[in-house]
Amino acid sequence: MACQQCKSSEKVVGEILGACRSCIVEGQAELEKQFAALHGKIRQNTNLPSRPPRSRKFSMCRICYRACRPAPGEKGYCGLRENRDGRLVHLAGTPKNGLLECYHDPLPTNCVSQWACRARGREYLGKKNLAVFYGACTLNCLFCQNWQYRTLTGELKPLYTAQELADRVDEQTACICFFGGDPAPQAPHALAAARRALKKNPDLIVCWETSGLMCKSFLEQMIACSFATGGTLKFDLKAYHLPLYYALTGGDNRPVLKNFARCARLSREKGVTLAVASTLMVPGYVEEDEVYAIASFIAAHNPDTPYSLLGFFPQFQMRDLRPTSRRQAEACFEAAKKAGLKRVKLGNEPLFL
């Protein structure tokens, strides 16, 4: 379809957005209002708050940068906090009640950071990874590849205490990876589980896959946990230009970039692989120009950061787009190298057309 703004029919335009990347990046006010309404409608259709509540009279949630202030009867953006009679109640995400699914994978796993993680060594063959899929998120990505987490949010089950999750770790569990959804809305639960698991198995490697919207205090605890165990924090850097990031996710990437920069600088200073990054190559929207901008930002903080470029598959609200082409993937790979990154990898290659 043609872009509804510039009327160009030569650019790839997703039906859900109705605008090309160029028009979105220009940051037109009318488009921002249009995308705000779009994200609100999608979230309402899946029984999630359309936007972060901003009541000034009641307590603020301090777990992620959404900084929700729900009024009585309202829920926070992630769906896990609710104001009941003027009191902020955590429906899930504390050490007592993590909303998640978990399972064991034999090593080596197919996790995004596997190629940069120390658990890829021969000494880990035959051992296993505990994969923890959290059922909530801080964003509303139109292209979400794991949108099924919303089912868990809606039903608020299954719930695990931090100790119950830690009990899934044994001597053969080499690493634990928290992802989802996103571990950020349930950071108190994940950190408590990780600490309990490390008491059982001090050699456990702790890793994270996140969009990066956690508050600073939780970021610091995640960094400390992974640094001490030789694990990684994989940041999903979905777009660099704020208008495009907002159009695709309904969120603000400035806290994400700030959190990533902190982790990447620490990686460089300590000479370790701690910060890892990935980007989904969305046809028409996240192509070589956008990847170059993201990669340049990464390289400015640590050019040795492992960076995975992932193939897009039509999912959730962007089912009308085609999967990432081999041409797009190779162009993005070259753009990332040109930006100064030394460690770039193409992921999900079987998806490429």
For the chain, domain boundaries: 96-232, 237-353
Question: What pLDDT was estimated at residue 120?
Answer: 80
Quote the CA–CA distance of 177 and 270 in Å, as a whole number. 22
Q: Give yes or no for residue 122 having a pLDDT over 80.
A: no
Rg (CA), the chain: 20
Is 25:6 a contact under the CB 8 Å cutoff?
Answer: no
Q: Average pLDDT for residues 220-239, to the nearest whole number?
A: 98
- The overall average pLDDT reported for the chain is 96
In this structure, which CATH number among 3.20.20.70, 3.40.309.10, 1.10.10.10, 3.40.50.300 belongs to the domain 237-353?
3.20.20.70
Strands (E) located in the chain: 81-84, 87-90, 98-106, 128-134, 159-160, 173-180, 205-210, 233-236, 275-281, 307-311, 344-347
In the chain, what percentage of residues exceed pLDDT 90? Answer: 90
Q: Give yes or no for residue 119 having a pLDDT over 90.
A: no
- Of 114, 94, 97, which is closest to residue 105 (Cα–Cα)? 114
- What is the SS3 assignment for 97? strand
Q: Give yes or no for residue 117 having a pLDDT over 90.
A: no
Q: Give the bridge partners for 208, in sequence order.
A: 178, 233
